[in-house]
Amino acid sequence: MEPLESSNSTHPKGESKNTSKTPLGSWPLDTPGGRFHAEWDDQAPVTREGQLIFFFQFLQAGGRWQEFLRECPLHYVGNRGSGADHIMGTVLLSVLNGHWRYAHINGVRGDGINPGLLGLSGTVSEDAVRMAMYRIDEAAGLDWLTSQTLSCISPALGLAWILDIDVTVKPLYGRQQGAEIGYNPQKPGRPSHVYHSYFVANLRISLGVEVRPGNEHAAAKGLPGLWQTLEKLPRHQWPTFSRGDCGYGSEGIMLEHEQRGLPYLFKMRHTAKVKELVMRMMRQGALWQDCGDGWQALETSIRLSGWTRERRVILVRESPARAPVAQIGEVKKPRRGKDRQTYLPQAQGDGWDAQATPWSGKIAVLVTTLDAIAYPARVLPKHYRDRADAENCFDELKNQWGWGGYTSRKLAPSRLMANLIALFYNWWNLYLRFYDERHHREAIRTRPMLMSGVGRQVQSGGQRTVKVSVLHEKGDVIARAVTEISKEIHLICAITERWSVEQKWTLLLTRLLRHWLGGKWLPGLPADARLMLSG
């Protein structure tokens, strides 16, 4: 086939022949809307994510980007290296765009505006990013990312907060290091990695993630990373208590919490002794306390054979008004893998008083070291049910933020990328608090609203201007909201020009988390901060 520029096709009358030796000229084409002329323009600085300029303004106001790069352990020798700033800037743009593979990085290579907003001359290739992850020392890189992750939320951790710990599975489809067969309910028999993760409850802020081989899904495997993370915080910033599912309700994990003085609220597995306890309490016709929302609780204690001490236990069930009543002699076999066991009598002669306890629903058993006066039995079921929000964090991070991808042959780069993604996820979630301080908004909705938009850069008289065209249905509402927030950030920057990075970020967190803080001011601000802002 001959090249396009050498075609001798006849042009219609009235149109001049394109004599260019490249296909970058203008040519006519007919569409249902009439005749138009098409032209390639690869010189104009444009971007599809024109609204990222406002997110970068937020990072600059809090000094996050400079602090992030200042302690980066990625170093190059010579003048031909890509540079840590270009590597991390490319990763940031890729993650914000919702990519999950290194190959997707090519989608941001042609961005003519956003790299410059980060102070970069451009982006780098996928190979440069992949090799940079191999180049970073694992211990130094993880320590750096943990410090960065904690610093973006630590000023607010002086108040009471709850730690959610959980583990999720990431299926693998290659021969990666650590790809082992373990617990994988969605794809049994498929090799995987497991992500042991820690979150600030209700804020959906990640405190870190530890990536382990697929056969190390047991909850105890993630405890070393948890203690290393918490030990970086002063004691007054530790959580009020931690909570987890039945995988954490074992003697070893509870004992480590007790030795470190960290209260916990875990679910217990229905072992034979636990089943015996539940049946005994039901036969006694004990008084259940109403917990609201159709649930009831009953407090007792138990010491299993492998335990070193007796512990407080809370039984939780649906209220009888909402649970079905079984007939005497009806037996139900519980499904495998369920933590809430169904207890039903087999005959009238087994000591069961059907009139006293006409109920046959499911019972969950919680174990805790929380003080019974400050945390009575009736409030603990709701505290545990709120733990389910951690599953939403997993869903968002795996399906919208890249935890399900960015896989390398070696395990260390996967660990670094997982923590990088968690850090950028925190930045974006905090930025969204400007627009909705009461609710969490997932990326699948916020990216089209607060990222997408054609941006064109023009320069005149030494002044650079980025013109943004929002294509969203509610573009006018979005434009007004973004303008107001951008002006507010600009005012904060003007006021805090001579403040330290820690003071700037503390002020921003006070503004972003004001609903969660209940109007309180975070400590660490200058004495005249309130006066300056009110004026």
Return the SS3 of 119: coil
Distance of alpha carbon 162 from alpha carbon 35, whole angstroms: 62
Pick from 308, 306, 235: which is nearest to 269 by CA?
A: 306
Distance of alpha carbon 336 from alpha carbon 497, whole angstroms: 60
Structure token digits, residue 239: 């959580």
Please report, in tens digits, the pLDDT of each residue of the chain (535 residues total).
444 444 444 544 544 444 444 456 788 999 999 998 888 887 889 999 999 999 999 999 999 999 999 999 999 887 778 899 999 999 999 999 999 999 999 999 989 899 999 999 999 999 999 999 999 999 999 999 999 999 999 999 999 999 999 999 999 998 899 999 998 888 999 999 999 999 999 899 999 999 999 999 999 999 999 999 999 999 999 999 999 998 999 999 999 999 999 999 999 999 999 989 988 888 877 788 888 888 889 999 999 988 999 999 999 988 765 544 443 333 344 444 444 444 444 333 333 343 344 445 678 999 999 999 999 999 999 999 999 888 889 899 999 999 988 999 999 999 999 999 999 999 999 999 999 988 889 999 999 999 999 999 888 888 899 999 998 888 899 999 999 999 999 999 998 988 999 999 999 999 999 998 888 889 888 877 776 665 5
Under a CB-based contact definition with an 8 Å cutoff, are residues 172 and 179 in contact?
yes
pLDDT for residue 534? 59
Single-letter amino acid code for the residue at 423: L
| Global confidence as pTM | 0.86
Domain ranges of the chain: 4-39, 140-263+389-432, 267-368
H-state helical runs in 323-474: 380-385, 389-400, 411-432, 443-450
pLDDT for residue 361? 65
Structure token digits, residue 126: 């996928």
**Main-chain dihedrals φ then ψ at residue 44, nearest 5 degrees:** -70, 130
Pick from 383, 387, 384, 377: which is nearest to 290 by CA?
A: 377
Under a CB-based contact definition with an 8 Å cutoff, are residues 455 and 53 in contact?
yes
Q: What is the 3-state secondary structure (H, E, C) of 166-215?
A: EEEEEECCCCCCCCECCCCCCCCCCCEEEEEEEEECCCCEEEEEEEEECC
pLDDT for residue 23? 54
pLDDT for residue 520? 85
Find where tokens 């990216």 sit.
447
